[in-house]
Amino acid sequence: MKVLKTHKTFEGLTQFWSHESQETKTEMKFSTFIPQGKVEGCIIWLSGLTCTEENFITKAGAQKYLAENNLMVIAPDTSPRGLNLPGEHDAYDFGSGAGFYVDATTADYKTNYRMYSYIVNELYGIIQNHFKIAKISIMGHSMGGHGALVIGLRESDKFKSVSAFSPIVNPTQAPWGQKAFQGYLGADQTAWKPYDACELLKIGKKHAHKILIHQGTKDEFLLNGQLLTPNWVETCQKQGQEQEVVFAEDYDHSYYFIATFIEAHIKHHARFLK
Amino acid sequence: MKVLKTHKTFEGLTQFWSHESQETKTEMKFSTFIPQGKVEGCIIWLSGLTCTEENFITKAGAQKYLAENNLMVIAPDTSPRGLNLPGEHDAYDFGSGAGFYVDATTADYKTNYRMYSYIVNELYGIIQNHFKIAKISIMGHSMGGHGALVIGLRESDKFKSVSAFSPIVNPTQAPWGQKAFQGYLGADQTAWKPYDACELLKIGKKHAHKILIHQGTKDEFLLNGQLLTPNWVETCQKQGQEQEVVFAEDYDHSYYFIATFIEAHIKHHARFLK
């Protein structure tokens, strides 16, 4: 584990790291913020399409609230890097920068695109063993909101709480999800369902605590059918999953929106991590 | 005046603008944050080397505190763009991205590199006439901290208050300043002095209110002699300029440092703008 950069921030440390990943068989990078003093828990942040480990930690303005709540954050990159797999760099919504938090099974991708196991096992282990933090929660944005919901529902014992900004809640029914799942998991759509938050609810997966979502009403990807937020609300109600979706009037899909509401999410996780 | 992008943020609007500048004879861009409701004043933010109109508004986390204090911010680009003057794009510290807030007099640059007049007259006029805000203050970072101090001392009637992060306080004595002034103002060093905050203090220029500076002690550009902060403190004391320099232990030159202390600066300006 190598520290690439350190910047003192709100009395704590913003840092950039790299390590050799056993899951992806590549060098992986992540950023952290570690507040000064006792750290009571860690939130994993999963970023959206095209992002790296840098977007959240520079743009969300989270450090202030993490410091106030004695919480650490860890924000991994969104895919393996440094490979040159067939089609990997051709589009913004597949391959590099678009790992979709699945363990790929297609021939070209199955060796390296193991982002589900990377987050749930390898990064989780790093938080517990390297950073010595026992209690872990998860949140994310867009593709990373999808990742947070799927991981939170499937691994509900490992993650104390779950939240998302503008998540892709039903990717098997939306163009981004369909394209990615076809490429990473193949044509058999039954293999897609374990990576779809709404489908997981339908087979009885649940998280013990309320799942918080913020969703801007002027989000272009809500309006063009990529996010499908109403499907989440409806399925949660049917299946008895406690949830709160805040529809934030006139907000869009950007980090300006995330910065506006990040304090609410950090406080939400603090309730369960402390 | 064209709006390029709008993002709702903390109930107000983050926006990106372009306009045809009379001073630079180019298209110039700037960003703004305008809080919801009554706006009591505007702070101009001047960015540092290599920055555009985007860095501050995405990374400083200022919107929350601007909204709380009913203040607008406007952050212009750091030089004219779209030209191809001799040497303009050869280095990060001269030409594009490095206007140094001077009115150039050298043959190649004098027509377009008029950033002093652009800020003091044209942008100032836009704030008053387009945005209808009467009370204006100024702050900045590094090269932009230099700009804020120089403009605040020379135009003390126009700017209600002045502050800076990691400013170049004595550019005639530092490599960045010497290179830029040589290129924009020529070899005669007497022409450099009106753009040096310490030199302005020495000829009796003053601002009526305390000038606030935050300076990280692990700032590499403090340590390598570009910023020369002690010269400012000493000259202010000799000349009776009220000042406060907060030496922030272990902080560096980055926007993580700025984000940590931006609330203090916005509150400082709020005292004089309301």
Write the secondary structure of B242-256 as one string of H (helix), E (strand) and C (coil): CEEEEEECCCCCCHH
Structure tokens at B58: 């995405």
Average pLDDT over residues A185-213: 98
Q: What are phi and psi of B183, to 5 degrees?
A: -75, -35
User: Nearest chain B Cα to A216, which residue?
Assistant: B8
Alpha-carbon separation of residue B198 from A142, B98, B219, B231, B265 (angstroms) = 49, 20, 20, 7, 21
A249-265 pLDDT tens trace: 999 999 999 999 999 99
pLDDT for A2 equals 98
The contacts of residue B250 (CB under 8 Å, 6+ apart) are A8, B216, B217, B218
Contact between A144 and A48 (Cβ < 8 Å): yes
The proportion of chain A whose per-residue pLDDT surpasses 90, expressed as a percent, equals 100
Average pLDDT over residues B248-271: 98
**Residue whose pair of structure tokens reads 């043959």 in the numeric block:** B107
Average pLDDT over residues A217-232: 98
Contacts of B16 in chain A (CB under 8 A): none
**Integer-rounded Cα radius of gyration of chain A:** 17
The proportion of chain B whose per-residue pLDDT surpasses 70, expressed as a percent, equals 100
pLDDT for B53 equals 98
pLDDT for A26 equals 98
pLDDT for A155 equals 98
**Is the complex ipTM more than 0.90?**
yes
For residue B120, give the 3-state DSSP assignment. Answer: helix
Contact between B99 and B123 (Cβ < 8 Å): no
| A218 vs B: CB within 8 A | yes
Average pLDDT over residues A195-212: 98
CA B117 to chain A, closest CA, distance in angstroms equals 31
Look at the pTM and tell me if it is higher than 0.90. yes
Contacts of A256 in chain B (CB under 8 A): 7-9, 14, 63
Contact between B119 and B151 (Cβ < 8 Å): yes
**CA pair distance B31, B24, nearest whole angstrom:** 18
Q: Per this entry, what is the length of chain A?
A: 274
pLDDT for A215 equals 98
Domains of chain B, earliest start first:
2-273 (3.40.50.1820)
CB contact under 8 A, A254 and B7: yes
**CA pair distance B224, B220, nearest whole angstrom:** 6
pLDDT for A81 equals 98
Count Cα atoms within 13 angstroms, Cβ side, for A176.
26
pLDDT for B72 equals 98
CA A206 to chain B, closest CA, distance in angstroms equals 32
| B219 labelled catalytic | yes
B14-54 pLDDT tens trace: 999 999 999 999 999 999 999 999 999 999 999 999 999 99
CA A250 to chain B, closest CA, distance in angstroms equals 7
pLDDT for B44 equals 99
A25-60 pLDDT tens trace: 999 999 999 999 999 999 999 999 999 999 999 999
A51-101 pLDDT tens trace: 999 999 999 999 999 999 999 999 999 999 999 999 999 999 999 999 999
**CA pair distance A255, A6, nearest whole angstrom:** 22
* Secondary element (H or E) of residue A164: strand A162-165
| B253 labelled catalytic | yes
Alpha-carbon separation of residue B99 from A6, A7, A79, B29, B111 (angstroms) = 29, 27, 38, 14, 13
